[in-house]
Chains A and B, each alone.
Chain A
Amino acid sequence: MRFVDEFRDAEKAQVLSGQIAALCEPGRHYSFMEVCGGHTHTIYKHGLEDYLPESVSLVHGPGCPVCVIPMGRLDDAIYISEQPDVIMTSFGDMMRVPGGKGSFFDSKAKGADIRMVYSPLDSLKIARANPDKKVVFMAIGFETTAPSTAMTVLRAAADGLENFSIFCNHVTIIPAIKAILDSPDMRLDGFLGPGHVSTVIGCKPYEFIARDHHKPLVCAGFEPLDILASIYQLMVQLRDGRCEVENQYTRVVPWDGNLKALQVINEVMELRPYFEWRGLGFISHSALKVREEYAKFDAEEIFKIPGIRVADPKACQCGEVLKGVIKPWECKVFGTACTPETPIGTCMVSPEGACAAYYNFGRFTRERVKEATRA
C-alpha cells in the first residue's frame, strides 16, 4: 500500500489546503464540479471537504455509471434475466438498483439466475462452463469500462462462442457534460475532469469546455491529494483569469488518450442516436450500442426487450442532483423515503452516487463533528 499512502499524506494535504485558502478572493464563492462518481466517493470517504475553505464547494456530477441507468432500461435487463435458460451476469453495484418493478436482487430471489462478476471476462468463463445456457453480461459504464466489454465481445467472437451476449448500456461522458453546461441552472466555476475516463479518451475532448464555455477543467486523479492538487490548479487558473484544460493525473492519463482502447470500442460499438439518462432525460449521441456485425452478441437483438420507459417517481430529484443544481440533502425524499437501504433514486444505490455518499459518509453538520473529533 506504500504507493497509495503517498497520495494520502495529511501533512501535504494541510499545505495544499493553506494554498487553496490563500487563493480565495474575499467575498467570492467557488463551485467546482467533480464529474466522476469515483471522485465523489474519494471526497466523502476521506473526509476531504474538511480541508476546503468555506467559500469553495464541490458539486457532484453525473459520472456514476450505475446512477444514470434509467428504470426502464433496468426493467429490460430484468426481463432478459427472466427468459428461459438465461444466466444474467452483472457487477455487484447494479444488484440493488431498483427498476420499475424491483431490482436484480428481487428478481434473483424470485428464481432468476443472476450472478455477480468482477469483470466481463468472468461472464465469458460462465458462458464456457454452461454451454446449454444463454449468458448475458449487463454492460454499464463510461469509456473506462467500454474497452473491456468490447474486448470480451471480440474474444467471444474469436472463440466462436454461441451462448454469450452483452446488454449494452455504455454511455459517453462528453455529451453529459455538454448537457450540464447547456442547462440554464448551471452555476459552476470549473470542472475536475474524470481521470479514469480520460485514460481512454485523453484530455483533448474537453477543450470545448474551455474554448466555448470559458470554464477551466483539470483532469484529476483518484487519491485525495490528487483532488486537492487539482482544486488548487483550478484556483490558480481562476486567479490568472485563464480557462484551460490541464492534466493533473499525468502519471496515468496521456494527453491523447489510449488509441488502442478507442479502436477496440469502435470496432465493436457505435453511437446510438439518443439514450435516456436517469434524471437527465434523452441526450443525443450519448451512448454506445453493439454494431450490426456483432449482432449475435447483442442481447438487445437476441431478446425482444419490451423497451418501456418508466417515469422517474414524482418526488425524485436525481436529475437536479446529477446536474449539481441541488445538494443531495435538498431532495425532498432524501433520507426519509429514499435511503441506501430502500433507494428510490439511483444516486442512492451505488457507493459512487452523490446521495449515497452523502448519506453514508457525510450526513452531519460540520460544527458538531469538529466538536466530537477534537482530541
Chain B
Amino acid sequence: MSGEQVTHPGDTDQRSADWAEEAVRDAASHEDPELAQYALGGQTLSLEEQVLARIDRQRRRKAKIKEERITLAHGAGGKATHTLIDALFLESFRNPVLEAMEDQATLTVGGARLAFTTDSFVVHPLFFPGGNIGDLAVNGTVNDLAVGGARPLYLSAGFILEEGFPVADLQQIADSMAVAAAVAGVQIVTGDTKVVERGQCDGVYINTAGIGVIERDITLGAGTVKPGDSVLVSGPIGDHGVTVMLARGELDIESDIESDTAPLAELIGVLLDATTGVRVMRDATRGGVATILNEVARASNVAIVVDEKAVPTREEVRGASEILGIDPLYVACEGRLVIVVDGAETAAALAALRSHPLGEGAAVIGAVKDDPPTLVLLKTEFGGTRIVDMLVGDPLPRIC
C-alpha cells in the first residue's frame, strides 16, 4: 500500500525521506546480483537462505558511521560503539598492536611482555550499593590487564571535576581507590586533575590507565577459539548494571542487590595455574556477556550456543530486566569473567574458579560449535532457540 497514491487532506504537501532512499541505494550498490546462483553443498539456496547470506555479507562490510553527530548509542558498547571504533579511531590510529582489538594492548619492551590499557568512568550515580566510581575505576583497569593474562602493576588516575563538587565526596572516592588498589596489589603512581565550570561535567569523571607484566607463556585472544570449546562465567551476571539502575531510583523497586565490582587478577591467577586450556577471558562490562560472546564468535568465525537455564542470574536481575524489557545477558557486570576454555579442560577450569570466593558462583553456560559461524545462539529456558545479537541502542546509559 505504501506506493499507492492516497488522496487526503494534508497530502498536498508531501515530502520524501531522502536519507532512506540514499541508504537503500548504498546497500544495493554492495549487492551481488549472482548470489542467487551460489550453491551450498550442491543445493541451490532457498529464498530465505539467500536473504540470510545477503545479511551476512552486509554484516561483514566495512563499518561506516552514518550519523552526523555522536549519539548516546555510540557509548553503549554495542553495534554503534564498534562502528565508531572501527571506522574512526582504528582508521586514524591504525597499527598492528591496536588492530588486535583486545581489552589491553600487548607490548614487548626490552624483552619483557607488557600489557597496557586505559578506561574512563562516567557512572551515574557516583555512589551506589557495593561501590562507587573510585573502586570501579581501579577495578575496571586492573581487570582489563588481568584478562590478558598480565599481573597488574601500576595505574594512573586522571580526574575531571565539576566546579562545586564536595571535597568530602572526592575524599571518599580517593579512599575507595586506595583500598581497591591495595587489594589488587597495584600502585597509583601518576595522575592529573582538571576542573571545569559547573554544568560542564557531572560531578566527577575518572580516567585510569594501567600497566602489567605478562609472566606466563600464554597467548590469549578472541580469535583463538575452536569448536568443542566450553564457555564459562565466574558468577551471577548483571548485578552491577541492575544495581546502578535501581540506585537511580527510576524504577521504584526496593532491593538489597549490590554491585559486583571486584578485582579479578587473583581469581585469574588461580585459573591459569590450574589449566593451560584457557583461550580467552574478558570481564563482562558494558554490553554484558552477550556482547563478549558476539565478539568472540566473530573473531574466531565460530558459533556459540548458550543454554539460558545454565546462566547464573539473580532473581532481582531477572525481575528488573523483565521490567526494563532487556535481557540480563546484555547487562553490565564489573567483577565477572567470561572464559572460553578447551572442552577437555572444562572441569578443571570450573573447579579452579569455584575454589576462589569471587568464583563461587561459576558455571558452564555454553559450548562452541562450527555452524552457523559468527552467530551466538541461545537455547531458551522455555525450550526454543533464538539468536543473541550485538546490542543496538542503549537501554542503560552511563553504567560505568
Contacts and interface: CB of A to CB of B under 8 A. Distances in A.
Contacts of B319: 1
B386 interface: yes
Nearest to A5: B381
B386 A44 contact: yes
Contacts of B73: 96, 105
Contacts of B79: 340-341
Given A361-B386, A373-B305, A334 B17 contact: no
Given A313-B16, A313-B21, A369-B372, A360 B387 contact: yes
Interface in A8-22: 8, 10, 13-14
Interface centre among A1, A279, A323 (most CB of B within 10 A): A1
A351 B30 CA distance: 27
A308 interface: yes
A71 interface: yes
Contact of B369 (A44, A318, A372): A372
B199 interface: no
A370 B377 CA distance: 11
Contacts of A341: 79-80, 83, 392
A23 interface: no
Contacts of B380: 45-47
B247 to A, nearest CB: 16
B2 A279 contact: yes
Interface string A289-330: 000000000000000000111111111111110010000011
Contact of B48 (A92, A307, A365): A365
B386 A340 contact: no
A336 B54 contact: yes
Interface in A328-375: 329-330, 333-342, 344, 351, 359-365, 368-373
B377 A372 contact: yes
Contacts of A344: 20, 23-24
A126 to B, nearest CB: 12
Contact of B381 (A8, A307, A369): A8
A129 interface: no
B67 A106 contact: yes
B55 A335 contact: yes
Given A280-B1, A319-B2, A98 B19 contact: yes
Interface stretch (B6-14, B93-101, B139-147): B6-14
Interface stretch (A48-56, A165-173, A201-209): A48-56
A341 B23 CA distance: 12
Given A46-B384, A363-B387, A118 B250 contact: yes
A290 B377 CA distance: 46
B23 A310 contact: no
A158 interface: no
Interface size class of B (residues with CB under 8 A): 35 or more
B154 to A, nearest CB: 37
B383 A10 contact: yes
A231 B23 CA distance: 39
Contact of A47 (B1, B386, B389): B386
A110 interface: yes
A285 interface: no
A277 to B, nearest CB: 10
B24 A313 contact: yes
B330 to A, nearest CB: 11
Contacts of A312: 2, 17
B322 interface: yes
Interface string A140-164: 0000000000000000000000000
B354 interface: no
Interface string A178-203: 00000000000000000000000000
Interface string B306-322: 00000000010011001
A360 B80 CA distance: 15
A314 B80 CA distance: 26
B15 to A, nearest CB: 5
Interface in B233-290: 250-251
Contacts of B3: 314
Nearest to A313: B20
Interface centre among A72, A338, A360 (most CB of B within 10 A): A360
A257 interface: no
Interface string A19-61: 0000000000000000000000000111111110000000000
B55 A4 contact: no
A175 interface: no
B303 A363 contact: no
A318 B395 CA distance: 25
Interface string B366-400: 00010110010111111111110100110100000
A360 B395 CA distance: 16
A337 B24 contact: yes
Nearest to A311: B16
B69 interface: yes
B58 interface: yes
Contacts of B51: 329-330, 334-335
B52 A363 contact: yes
A33 B192 CA distance: 61
Interface string B17-34: 101110110111011000
19 contacts: A44-B386, A45-B380, A46-B380, A50-B384, A108-B72, A110-B69, A308-B13, A308-B14, A310-B16, A311-B2, A312-B2, A336-B28, A337-B27, A342-B66, A344-B23, A360-B389, A363-B52, A368-B372, A373-B305
Interface of A: 1, 4, 8, 10, 13-14, 44-51, 71-72, 92, 95-96, 98-102, 105-106, 108-110, 118, 122, 224, 274, 276, 279-282, 307-320, 323, 329-330, 333-342, 344, 351, 359-365, 368-373
